[in-house]
Structure formats: structure tokens, C-alpha cells
Homo-oligomer: A and B are copies of this chain.
Amino acid sequence: MYEVWMDVLMKTELFKNIPENDLKSMVYCLSPMVKEYRKGELVAIEGHKIKGIGLLLKGNLTISKDVIDGTSLIMKKIESGDMFGEIAAFAEKEVWPATVTAHQDSHVMFIPSERIVGLCPTGCIGHKTLLNNMLRIVSNKAINLNEKIEYLSVRSIREKISKYLIAQYKQQKSTTLFLNMNRNEMADFLNVTRPSLSREMSYMKEEGLIDFHRSSVKILNLERISTYLN
């Protein structure tokens, strides 16, 4: 019954490190529900009770937050193999924190949360791994959020730029950086306005800290930029 989706499931974080054979039997034990949605249909509604985690088997979803004036703000896109609702499903207040909409025709697998945490009656072999995965996923999420907070907690625009450039430097292992965002996106990411960002970058260029042209940035004085980190 679920065999069609086995190759998708194998690649998910949730079922990582679980051999295909074990997975096959475990899926039944989790009693998931596969639902189909047409483009534009609502998969989950903000504030409604959440019954379990969602796993996108096929298609595309968007997660959006309702805002007060009736419009909504797209927060994130979900692609095949991605999980959603994993945080809210196990939290105290079991409601969807956002609205999920099918952006294309989609197939979604819902797994009841109590089935994940519940010791299954047949004691299926991979269940321990599953729990480990679930805890790892949620913990990683928390750690990532914590990192983002460090980013946002920074006072000045210069500090934000410095933090961002040094993170890129560590990642790209070079002082000549190619940023994969344009100024607007970068400004959004750092939570500042574009002209303010451009201005500050220009100041830093004047001071000989960096050089840049559009999306390529060259770090000229790493030490001095580092002093802005803390």
C-alpha cells in the first residue's frame, strides 16, 4: 500500500538510518494517512488542532502566516521529502502555527504523533532509530533558531554585515566571496533596509575593510572586520 512512496521515505530525515526492509514494516505500524490535494487547496489551517506531522511525498506546499489585514505572508516553501509541523505536533499547544497550502497538486503523508512516541505493540526494529531521528530533528531546529537569534540580536548594521561576511568566509574558505543573494534579499536577511545596507557597505569600502561590486565581495582586512564580531 505504501510501497509506491518508499523511495521518497527512504530519503527523509525522519527515516534516516533505517534499512528499507525495517521501514517497510514500520510504516504500517505508524498507521499514516496519505491525502491528496489539488493546487490551491488548504492542507492545514493556522490555529486548528494538529494531529500529527506532515511529510510531503509529491508536489509543493507553501507555509504562510495570516496577518491582520486579511492577507498572508509566505514564510517557507516545502518540497518533496520535506517534513512540516514537526515542532508543533509535540509541543504543549497542539495547533498549527501557520497555514499550509498546496502550491501544486500534492500528496501528503500524515503520521499521528502518538504513533511516533508510542512503543509499537509489535516492537518493530527501527523504532528506536525513529525516535532518535525525531529528537535530533527537533533539537537541530532549536539550535538553528538559536543561531538566528544571535544574528538578529546584533546591534549595528556593521556588526551584522561583519558577522555575515565572516560566516561566508568560513564557508567559502576564501576572502573573495560570491553572495547568493542580491542586496534586497541580503537586507531582508539582516533585517535592515536596502539603502541603509548599501550605505554601510560603502562606508566599509571607504575605510578599506572590503571591496565589492554587486554580489561579489572581497574582504580586505579580516582582522579589523573580526573586531566587530563581539
Contacts and interface: CB of A to CB of B under 8 A. Distances in A.
5 contacts: A69-B230, A87-B139, A93-B143, A119-B123, A152-B153
A4 interface: no
Given A119-B128, A136-B92, A152-B153, A143 B229 contact: no
A143 B191 CA distance: 19
Contacts of A230: 67-69
Interface of A: 67-69, 87-93, 97, 117-119, 123, 127-128, 131-132, 134-136, 138-143, 145-146, 148-149, 152-153, 155, 191, 226-227, 229-230
Nearest to A86: B139
Given A68-B229, A117-B135, A141-B142, 14 more contacts: A68-B230, A88-B139, A88-B143, A90-B132, A91-B143, A92-B140, A93-B143, A97-B146, A117-B128, A135-B135, A138-B138, A145-B149, A149-B149, A152-B191
A72 to B, nearest CB: 11
Contact of A138 (B88, B97, B142, B149): B142
Q: How many copies does the complex hold?
A: 2
A132, A135, A136, A227 pick with most chain B CB within 10 angstroms: A135
A135 B90 contact: yes
Per CB-CB distance, the 6 closest pairs between chain A and chain B, nearest first, are A145-B145, A152-B152, A90-B139, A91-B139, A90-B135, A142-B142
B132 A117 contact: yes
B118 A128 contact: yes
Contact of A134 (B67, B123, B135): B135
B140 A139 contact: no
Contacts of A148: 149
Given A117-B135, A119-B127, A140 B227 contact: no
